[in-house]
Amino acid sequence: MGSLASIRSLYPFKSRYIALRASHANVTHKLHYIDEGHGESVVMLHGNPTWSFFYRNLVKNLNDFCRCLVPDHMGCGLSDKPQHYPYNLKTHIENTVQWLQNLSIGRFHLVVHDWGGAIGMGVAIRWPARVKTLTILNSAAFLCDHIPFRIALCRLPLLGPWGIKYANLFAKCATRMASEKGLDALTKKAYLLPYQTPRERVAINAFVQDIPMDPQHPSYKTLEDIQNNLWILANKPSLLAWGMQDFCFTPHFLEKWKQFLPNVKTHCFDDAGHYVLEDASEEVNEVVRKFIAAHQSVDHCVPKF
């Protein structure tokens, strides 16, 4: 993996690690996370092929009145990347629960993006009383019968895994296709930093293969159970902040979320793509900050704007 020193100007956070036990074997692996600021906890869950770096500007925007907790899912970012590991939706949910329990986190605001949507909602339906608010960026937590062609190619037997792990196609293409406005050279470097070798891309490939498109898929039942229990969260204060130019999570997914969360507040960013926090960083940060501040408990100070 490349040196963090080269991106410290963008990602100036202290790295923290916690050992999580693996459910499939009597071993532990280190999960990396950042823990910045003080106040009510805000848990931010990234997707594939990103890492906690995706939330860097939101953390900087909230840490004056919130405790921002952002993990790198196992196999991602600066976390361990075991080669023989059950990289699936159920395990990522269990890891997140174990991480929060180990940190003794009580109630928290939840922010999700991409695969973080399914992982986060898996946590939320297990602990609905602990979730204060939901902030949903381009993501899904429900079954779908369509997959973008570009992602479908990455699921082809042999060719797909080879392209992801050995040519790094998924992560490299994401730095170009996931942002409508384009990423500068240092930001691209930062997104690719943890994924320099084929071994470091093991979870990127596993996430792609874990998309459940039919009932026989191992993660289908897990996602179906999440979908069937989203009604538990229907009355939670919730916010949708959506990049409308996303080639993967199109406006169809936005409308689907509204069906599950009928009282959700929606902010659409017409010129933003999948990496909505890159394309509309200042605007999204302002919307999220005001939303979370509006739902602070009375014993916490609400920031001035």
Q: What is the pLDDT of residues 121-179, one digit of tens each?
A: 999 999 999 999 999 999 999 998 777 756 766 677 767 788 999 999 999 999 999 99
Q: What share of the chain is helix, strand, coil (3-state, %, to 5)?
A: 40, 20, 40
Q: What is the pLDDT of residues 66-103, one digit of tens each?
A: 999 999 999 999 999 999 999 999 999 999 999 999 99
* pLDDT beyond 50 at 23: yes
pLDDT score, position 305: 41
Q: What is the pLDDT of residues 286-300, one digit of tens each?
A: 999 999 999 998 555
At position 130, the amino acid (one-letter code) is: R
Q: Which domains does the chain carry?
A: 4-294 (3.40.50.1820)
Instruction: For 264-278, give the DSSP string.
Output: -EEEEETT--S-HHH
At position 279, the amino acid (one-letter code) is: D
pLDDT score, position 269: 98
Average pLDDT over residues 243-252: 95
Number of Cβ within 10 Å of residue 225's Cβ equals 12
C-alpha–C-alpha distance, residues 270 and 137, integer Å:
14
C-alpha–C-alpha distance, residues 203 and 32, integer Å:
15
Instruction: For 200-237, give the DSSP string.
Output: GGHHHHHHHHT---STTSTTHHHHHHHHHTGGGGTTS-
Contact assessment for residue 269 and residue 243, using Cβ atoms and an 8 Å cutoff: yes
Average pLDDT over residues 37-45: 98
* pLDDT beyond 60 at 301: no
* pLDDT beyond 60 at 303: no
User: 0.85 exceeded by the pTM?
Assistant: yes
More confident residue, 151 or 191: 191
C-alpha triplet 289, 291, 294: angle, nearest 5°: 105
